[in-house]
């Protein structure tokens, strides 16, 4: 109760989430239980924002500017001038804003795929230890200099089609008269909010997201498994009665809970949807406008851009993260597949070829470089689904197989794979090439690193695929065995020959998985200092009864001599 106004005081339902941070500004996102003024205080500065409502939920994104570079400030969140964060009873340190340092260093943690489950023995047996909770617990007792400067969540932040057992019961009760096939799945905006609340309210994760700036991109489970994997999937899904509510709720909630925080204060000021949301005073009109935007985002992918970038370092020593939306703007025709449409890819080219970079980081939910057996299988599969060169019965079989075993990575969109190779070639041939080009991915429920060599000699630039998955959703044993079998030399050679027989051409690129795969929950942290880079791999475990991260490997990325398996066997290089 507010003793002055005699009314219930507003409550903080979710957040604060520390989102975009640069040298002089920071944005903080919150959800509250009612309309109120949100005040953010840090470093002797404060900003006030009024909440805005969508579907009866109340949100604010507060931008604090004028901060000093390389500064660290505990921050406070007030609702109607009443302090609600930090929580006085929390066992975690105060949440802080740490602005970018004016040097050429960066610690970027990343990974993907996090299922919601309690932190107890039963859930740990089913899903393993939560790596994000483990990161929080370790950070709480670690010097701030060792903390990540940013966190990149590379897809499947939520599982709309496979919620937790606790949420399934709630969904079934809400869908008593609905389609039995999807009774246990999320179907509208309100139910998407349940997922985000369940995922981000556990105390360790809530504190982590309040303290480490985060960038996020969606993948299929943020809407439904296999989303946009193939034309046949899309034709089936869009014909379902539940599709409109699902896709509208998915994109509207994604825009609020994930995408807004990817943007800098300057980018927000130029965003038309952000201006509409803040400028509309009628809640119903605002909700209708956002729902229309969400529906159009799927029906007309060129109407919105989910890809984004962030710059770290200094003007003279820039580190750029370019995050590619590799899910929403796909072209799915059997004879014209592409991972992104032409408009989106041009945006990627413009931002990746900016020049004057010490390190270029390309974030894509789906790995660009896979173990070779899987790469060849996906290339063969895409080829045989072509109706121009194969009989309809063969093409239909290929399409069924594509959906059944998730053959939808870059190798299954060969035109886009080749375009990525061309982009890498352009970058390394520049007048002042970066010390590294690193592709950061998740999705595949195992983790590995792969060193690549392009056709053009590039001694000054290291090229690696870094794949970290899952945060919490380990691969089941039968799938692990199948995954391992596909990377056995005779099987690799078989699928290589199958791909060649299907007229899949070679590419001017060689790579080898030199570390991993690891099949445990975990986190990768990219550590950059000047033109040197390494990646630290940590696995989730338990220490003193709580989640923890334990070191698995520390891998130099910019050394001239590769570590791990040496060289490239001919059949592994032919891709």
pLDDT in tens, 405-445: 889 999 999 999 999 999 999 999 988 999 999 999 999 99
Contact 522, 455 (CB under 8 A): no
Give residue 389's pLDDT: 63
- pTM recorded for the entire structure: 0.95
- pLDDT tens for each residue of 20-76: 999 999 999 999 999 999 999 999 999 999 999 999 999 999 999 999 999 999 999
Judged against a pLDDT cut of 90, whether residue 102 lies above it is answered with no
Of the candidates 300, 188, 186, the one whose C-alpha atom is nearest the C-alpha of residue 249 is 188
Torsion, Cα 208 39 258 287, to 10 degrees, reads: 150
Peptide bond into 16 cis (omega under 30): yes
CA distance 419 to 417: 5
Alpha carbon 161 to chain centroid, angstroms:
17
Which residues have C-beta within 8 Å of that of residue 161, sequence separation ≥ 6? 185, 186, 221, 224, 225
Average pLDDT, the chain: 93
3-state secondary structure of 178: coil
Give residue 392's pLDDT: 77
Reported as a pLDDT band with limits 50, 70 and 90, residue 181 is: confident
Beta bridge partners of 360: 320, 437
Beta bridge partners of 61: 29
Backbone angles phi, psi at 7, to 5 degrees: -125, 165
CA distances from 223 to 61, 155, 191, 514 (A): 24, 11, 12, 33
Beta bridge partners of 522: 539
Contact 125, 78 (CB under 8 A): no
DSSP state of 220: G
- pLDDT tens for each residue of 221-258: 999 888 999 888 999 999 999 999 999 999 999 999 99
CA distance 383 to 376: 11
CA distance 348 to 365: 15
- The count of other CB atoms within 10 Å of the CB of residue 152 is 26
Of the candidates 422, 431, 271, the one whose C-alpha atom is nearest the C-alpha of residue 349 is 422
3-state secondary structure of 414: helix
Domains and CATH numbers, the chain: 1-102+156-216+218-306 (2.60.40.380), 307-575 (no CATH)
């Amino acid at each position: 109760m507010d003793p002055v106004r005699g009314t219930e005081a507003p409550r903080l339902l979710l957040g604060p989430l520390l989102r975009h941070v640069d040298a002089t500004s920071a944005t903080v996102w919150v959800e509250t239980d009612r309309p109120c003024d949100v005040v953010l205080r840090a470093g002797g500065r404060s900003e006030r924002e009024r909440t805005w409502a969508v579907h009866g939920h109340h949100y604010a994104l507060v931008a604090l500017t004028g901060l000093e570079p390389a500064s660290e400030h505990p921050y406070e969140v007030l609702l109607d001038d009443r302090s609600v964060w930090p929580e006085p009873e929390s066992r975690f340190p105060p949440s802080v804003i740490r602005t970018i340092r004016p040097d050429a260093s960066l610690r970027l943690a990343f990974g993907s795929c996090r299922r919601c489950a309690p932190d107890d023995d039963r859930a740990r047996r089913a899903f393993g230890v939560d790596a994000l909770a483990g990161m929080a617990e370790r950070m709480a007792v670690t010097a701030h200099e060792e903390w990540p400067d940013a966190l990149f969540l590379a897809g499947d932040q939520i599982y709309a089609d496979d919620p937790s057992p606790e949420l399934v019961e709630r969904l079934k009760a809400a869908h008593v008269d609905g389609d039995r096939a999807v009774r246990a799945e999320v179907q509208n905006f309100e139910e998407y909010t349940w997922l985000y609340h369940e995922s981000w309210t556990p105390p360790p994760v809530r504190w982590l997201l309040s303290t480490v700036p985060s960038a996020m991109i969606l993948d299929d489970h943020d809407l439904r498994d296999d989303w946009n994997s193939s034309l046949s999937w899309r034709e089936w899904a869009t014909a379902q009665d539940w599709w409109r509510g699902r896709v509208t709720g998915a994109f509207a909630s994604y825009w609020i809970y994930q995408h807004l925080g990817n943007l800098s204060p300057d980018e927000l000021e130029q965003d038309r949807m952000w201006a509409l949301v803040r400028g509309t005073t009628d809640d119903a009109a605002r909700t209708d406008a956002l729902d229309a935007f969400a529906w159009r985002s799927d029906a007309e992918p060129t109407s919105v851009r989910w890809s984004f970038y962030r710059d770290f370092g200094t003007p003279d020593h820039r580190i750029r993260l370019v995050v590619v939306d590799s899910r929403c703007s796909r072209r799915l025709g059997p004879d014209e597949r592409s991972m992104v449409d032409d408009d989106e890819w041009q945006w990627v080219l413009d931002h990746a070829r900016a020049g004057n970079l010490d390190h270029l980081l390309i974030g894509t939910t789906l790995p660009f470089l896979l173990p070779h057996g899987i790469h060849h299988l996906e290339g063969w599969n895409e080829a045989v689904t072509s109706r121009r060169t194969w009989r309809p019965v063969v093409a239909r079989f290929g399409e069924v197989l594509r959906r059944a075993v998730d053959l939808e990575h870059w190798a299954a969109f060969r035109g886009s794979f080749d375009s990525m190779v061309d982009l890498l070639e352009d970058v390394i041939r520049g007048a002042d090439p970066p010390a590294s080009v690193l592709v950061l991915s998740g999705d595949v429920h195992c983790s590995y690193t792969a060193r690549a060599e392009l056709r053009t000699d590039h001694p000054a630039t290291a090229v690696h695929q870094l794949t970290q998955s899952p945060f919490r959703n380990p691969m089941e044993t039968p799938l692990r065995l199948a995954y391992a079998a596909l990377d056995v030399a005779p099987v690799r050679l078989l699928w290589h020959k199958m791909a060649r027989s299907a007229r899949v051409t070679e590419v001017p690129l060689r790579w080898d998985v030199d570390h991993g795969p690891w099949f445990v929950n975990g986190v990768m942290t990219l550590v950059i200092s000047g033109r040197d880079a390494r990646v630290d791999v940590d696995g989730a475990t338990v220490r003193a009864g709580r989640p923890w991260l334990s070191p698995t490997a520390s891998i130099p990325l910019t050394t001239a001599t590769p570590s791990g398996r040496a060289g490239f066997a001919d059949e592994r290089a032919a891709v």
